[in-house]
């Protein structure tokens, strides 16, 4: 790893800081069924994966993960799962309201203490996520917005991980160099490889312990407490 102290830690949001209390296909299927569509979570999951692959990243000026883009996405998957066209607007509104509601998520238990410890050590913390423009409000509702220094949502910056631009925007917000920054997330391509290609350090969060302690030379942690020794080791290395 670079011989620099870690001055900032960037954190992914979904499945890193918090997770949905119900799987996304189950939520979509429940709302579809309430408005005349099928109740078929497995089929819904397949439709959602296909729509994500097929829809362009920019639709009529709406970038992927923005609320506008999700309306196109929702119309596609819900209609294919039997929601009548006349009910698509109501389904869209129900989905957006659900995913903007903090009660639809649960924080992982160690998040508060880790953010507090980073602050105690003088380490900047930022949330950097592929998410809609509602992410700051959601984090406020979850009680973590005031524990981080900034929040960067891909929909706002019109760039998504693993693109370099979203990491550069976060670095600008933090006022630190890539070599002084650790990015942590649960996705190898978007989080780890994206961060490394932008010059940052990276750690893979593997809550299901599917990987060894390192993966392709990258540290692997099973929860966010695992990043604290990485920060400490980097600080100690610069003092010796």
**What's the CATH superfamily of 8-17+108-239?**
HAD superfamily/HAD-like (3.40.50.1000)
Position 209 confidence tier, pLDDT thresholds 50, 70, 90? confident
pLDDT in tens, 122-169: 999 999 999 999 999 999 999 999 999 999 999 999 999 999 999 999
* Tokens, residue 213: 């302690």
Position 217 confidence tier, pLDDT thresholds 50, 70, 90? confident
pLDDT of the residue at 4: 86
Domain boundaries, the chain: 8-17+108-239, 24-103
pLDDT of the residue at 233: 87
Long-range contacts of 213-217 (CB under 8 A, 24+ apart): 215/188, 216/188, 216/192
pLDDT in tens, 27-81: 999 999 999 999 999 999 999 999 999 999 999 999 999 999 999 999 999 999 9
Q: Does residue 240 carry a pLDDT above 70?
A: no
Position 218 confidence tier, pLDDT thresholds 50, 70, 90? very high
- Given strand 201-205, what is the order of strands in its sheet? 150-153, 124-129, 8-11, 181-185, 201-205, 218-221, 214-215
pLDDT of the residue at 228: 98
| Mean per-residue pLDDT over the chain, rounded | 95
pLDDT of the residue at 236: 58
Q: Does residue 237 carry a pLDDT above 70?
A: no
CA distance 49 to 37: 18
pLDDT of the residue at 238: 57
**Percent of the chain topping pLDDT 70:** 97
Q: Mean of the pLDDT values across residues 199-211?
A: 93
Position 200 confidence tier, pLDDT thresholds 50, 70, 90? very high
Q: Mean of the pLDDT values across residues 196-216?
A: 88
């Amino acid at each position: 790893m670079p011989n620099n102290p870690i001055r900032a830690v960037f954190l992914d949001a979904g499945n890193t800081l918090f997770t949905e209390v119900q799987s996304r296909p189950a939520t979509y299927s429940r709302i579809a069924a309430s408005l005349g569509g099928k109740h078929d979570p497995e089929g819904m999951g397949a439709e959602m994966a296909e729509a994500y692959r097929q829809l362009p990243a920019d639709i009529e000026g709406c970038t992927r993960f923005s609320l506008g883009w999700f309306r196109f996405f929702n119309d596609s998957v819900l209609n294919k799962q039997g929601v009548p066209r006349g009910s698509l607007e109501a389904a869209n509104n129900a989905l957006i309201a659900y995913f903007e509601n903090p009660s639809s998520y649960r924080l992982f238990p160690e998040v508060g203490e880790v953010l507090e410890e980073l602050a105690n050590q003088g380490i900047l913390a930022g949330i950097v996520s592929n998410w809609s423009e509602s992410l700051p409000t959601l984090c406020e509702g979850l009680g973590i917005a005031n524990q981080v220094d900034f929040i960067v949502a891909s929909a706002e910056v019109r760039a998504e991980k693993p693109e370099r631009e979203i990491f550069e925007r976060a670095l600008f917000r933090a006022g630190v160099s890539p070599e002084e920054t650790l990015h942590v997330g649960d996705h190898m391509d978007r989080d780890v490889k994206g961060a490394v290609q932008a010059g940052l350090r990276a750690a893979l969060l593997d809550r299901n312990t599917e990987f060894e302690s390192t993966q392709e030379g990258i540290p692997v942690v099973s929860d966010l407490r695992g990043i604290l020794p990485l920060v400490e080791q980097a600080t100690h290395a610069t003092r010796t």
